[in-house]
């Protein structure tokens, strides 16, 4: 196993990690490689919630009630998410927002690329991608049907008792707009 001495979290934030390893943030040492708890580890309830969340983002359900039902085991009913989803706050807003996204982008996927853990807080760098079937971003005349997008996303999740209770997130939708309006 390799060790990396790290004085600042941001200096280590985007280190490529193979096999979706979860890295514990320690102010002195950070273990690299596949020995840390893996994202697919079924015994850690925090990671079950994190995995379940990204599965939800990619599951293609277009019915908000079904999305909410599938989200309930991994996302707290009073989930605090910033910024607030377009469909409204909490689990209901998430379900409304992603049912709309899944209608617009039937092949949408969100794939974690790296995960950092500090206690019960997980920072996930992922790639969101898909091919919209209509101009859901309201690009207008420059929208090119058939174009796909691939964007980076950063989510910071706090997990308690096996459910995500708080999320801060940012997606590069401006880059998606560029990709959806640029001739291939």
Domain that holds residue 51: 44-180
What pLDDT does 59 receive? Answer: 82
Gap between the Cα atoms of 10 and 170, Å rounded: 16
pTM score of the predicted model: 0.76
Q: Long-range CB contacts (< 8 A, 24+ apart) of 139-145?
A: 139/177, 139/180, 139/181, 142/181, 143/180, 143/181, 144/180, 144/181, 144/182, 144/183, 144/184
**Count of the separate structural domains present in the chain:** 1
Residue 77's pLDDT is: 87
The answer to whether residue 23 sits within a structural domain is no
CA distance 123 to 74: 16
pLDDT > 50? residue 2: no
16 pLDDT higher than 70 = no
Residue 19 inside a domain? The answer is no
Could you tell me which residue, 15 or 52, shows the higher pLDDT? 52
Distance of CA 45 to the CA centre of its chain: 17
Whether 76 is covered by a domain: the verdict is yes
* pLDDT tens for each residue of 36-83: 444 445 568 898 899 899 998 888 888 999 989 999 999 998 999 999
Residues pairing with 121 in the sheet: 118, 158
Query: Is the residue at 123 inside a domain?
Result: yes
Please report, for the domain that includes residue 149, its CATH number: 3.10.450.50
């Amino acid at each position: 196993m390799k060790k990396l001495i790290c004085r600042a979290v941001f200096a280590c934030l985007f280190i490529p990690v193979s096999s979706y390893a979860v890295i514990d943030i320690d102010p002195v040492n950070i273990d690299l490689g596949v020995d840390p708890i893996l994202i697919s580890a079924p015994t850690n309830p925090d990671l079950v919630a994190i995995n379940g969340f990204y599965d939800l983002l990619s599951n293609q359900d277009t019915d908000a009630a079904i999305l909410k039902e599938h989200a309930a085991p991994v996302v707290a009913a009073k989930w605090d998410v910033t910024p607030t989803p377009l469909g409204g706050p909490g689990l209901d807003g998430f379900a409304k927002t992603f049912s709309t996204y899944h209608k617009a982008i039937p092949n949408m996927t969100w794939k974690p690329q790296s995960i950092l853990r500090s206690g019960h807080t997980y920072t996930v760098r992922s790639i969101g991608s898909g091919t919209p079937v209509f101009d859901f971003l309201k690009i207008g005349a420059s929208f090119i049907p058939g174009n796909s997008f691939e964007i980076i996303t950063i989510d910071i999740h706090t997990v308690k008792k096996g459910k995500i209770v708080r999320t801060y997130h940012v997606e590069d939708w401006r880059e998606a707009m560029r990709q959806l309006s640029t001739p291939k």
